[in-house]
């Protein structure tokens, strides 16, 4: 299988009051095209930082990261922004939609930069995405007129509007109740079945258990991983137990 992300010897520090703190320490990791990978680990272990560096949203001190064969570490800011906008989609824990725009306009917004003349086409595409995500009737609502779970599904539609190769999600279910979280995970599984690669950070073993590979982080390193295979192959309860027991070992 082809690597969509290849990270080699990633080292990342942040400036602290007196000195630097090492947040990622000599991490080498590959994500393969079409994979659904999640990252678990104790709070502060570096999960979000790993996601942001692998997607080129944040810089690294040393090492090399390639995305789809292109070196992110060698790219300038403009080139990086183009890659992120055109080939990657992002979903965060907290909503990022603009409050003064309707749901549909928020979804179309990132695609307008590259397709200024195609507003109508993009609006139709946004409507189709909303339909597929199960919230087709909410297109013209404002962000304060939908629930947290519905808003997160709309944010997923925005992440998909440019037909990215890969989705990066940082705790996408972290602020949701369990029912909404289940719906969001159905959406992610559907997106993955369509061939898109997903990298997802989570604290929730049941969420991680739905991905096919789980990376476990501790103190800035990937210390273990679990190969679960695609969800259709086995029962979620067994998978969740496996993730939980591995996580307990990592935390010891």
Footprint of ligand ATP on this chain (CB under 6 A)? 14, 23, 41, 43-49
Closest approach, Cβ 131 to ligand ATP, in A, equals 33
- Of the pair 135, 222, the CB lying nearest ligand ATP is at 222
Helices (H), 95-202: 103-112, 119-133, 148-160, 178-193
CB 38, CB 207: distance < 8 Å = yes
CB of 220 to ligand ATP, least distance (A): 7
Q: Which is nearer to ligand ATP, 165 or 246 (CB)?
A: 246
Q: Give the CA distances from residue 45 to residues 5, 39, 143, in Å, rounded to whole numbers and listed in that order.
A: 21, 10, 33
| 147 within 8 A of 158, measured Cβ to Cβ | no
* Residue 14 or 140 with smaller CB distance to ligand ATP: 14
Output 35 or 204, the one with its CB closest to ligand ATP. Answer: 204
Please identify, using beta-carbon distances, which residue of 41 and 164 lies nearer to ligand ATP. Answer: 41
Q: How far is the CB of 11 from ligand ATP (least distance, A)?
A: 13
Outline where the chain has alpha helix (H). Answer: 47-54, 77-87, 103-112, 119-133, 148-160, 178-193, 205-208, 236-251
Tokens of 29: 């990791």
Nearest approach in angstroms of CB 13 to ligand ATP is: 9
Token pair for 56:
């080129």
Smallest separation, CB 176 to ligand ATP (Å): 16
How many CA atoms does the CB half-sphere of 11 hold within 13 Å?
Answer: 7
Q: Which is nearer to ligand ATP, 34 or 46 (CB)?
A: 46
Q: How far is the CB of 211 from ligand ATP (least distance, A)?
A: 17
176's enclosing H/E stretch is none
Q: Cβ of residue 48: shortest distance to ligand ATP, in angstroms?
A: 3
> Please, which residue, 171 or 212, has the CB nearer to ligand ATP?
171
User: Is 229 exposed, middle or buried, given 0-12, 13-18 or 19+ CB atoms closer than 10 A?
Assistant: exposed
Residue 65 and residue 6 in contact, taking contact as beta carbons nearer than 8 Å: yes
């Amino acid at each position: 299988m082809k690597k969509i992300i290849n990270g080699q010897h990633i080292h990342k520090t942040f400036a602290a009051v007196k000195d630097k703190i090492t947040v990622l320490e000599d991490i080498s990791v590959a994500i393969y095209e079409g994979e659904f990978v999640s990252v678990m680990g104790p709070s502060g272990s570096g999960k979000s930082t790993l996601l942001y560096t692998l997607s080129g949203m944040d810089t690294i001190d040393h090492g090399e990261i390639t995305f789809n064969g292109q070196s992110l570490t060698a790219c300038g800011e403009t080139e990086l922004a183009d890659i992120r906008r055109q080939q990657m989609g992002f979903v965060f824990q907290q909503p990022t939609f603009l409050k003064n725009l309707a749901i549909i306009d928020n979804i179309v917004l990132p695609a307008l930069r590259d397709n200024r003349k195609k507003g109508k086409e993009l609006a139709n595409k946004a409507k189709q995405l909303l339909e597929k995500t199960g919230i087709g009737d909410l297109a013209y609502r404002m962000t304060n007129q939908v629930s947290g779970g519905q808003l997160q599904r709309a944010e997923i539609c925005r992440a998909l509007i440019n037909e990215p190769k890969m989705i990066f999600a940082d705790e996408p279910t972290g602020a949701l109740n369990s029912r909404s979280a289940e719906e969001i995970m159905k959406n992610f599984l559907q997106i993955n079945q369509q061939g898109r690669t997903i990298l997802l950070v989570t604290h929730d073993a049941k969420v991680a258990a739905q991905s096919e590979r789980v990376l476990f982080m501790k103190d800035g390193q990937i210390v273990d991983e679990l190969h679960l295979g695609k969800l259709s192959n086995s029962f979620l309860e067994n998978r969740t137990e496996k993730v939980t027991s591995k996580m307990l070992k990592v935390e010891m």
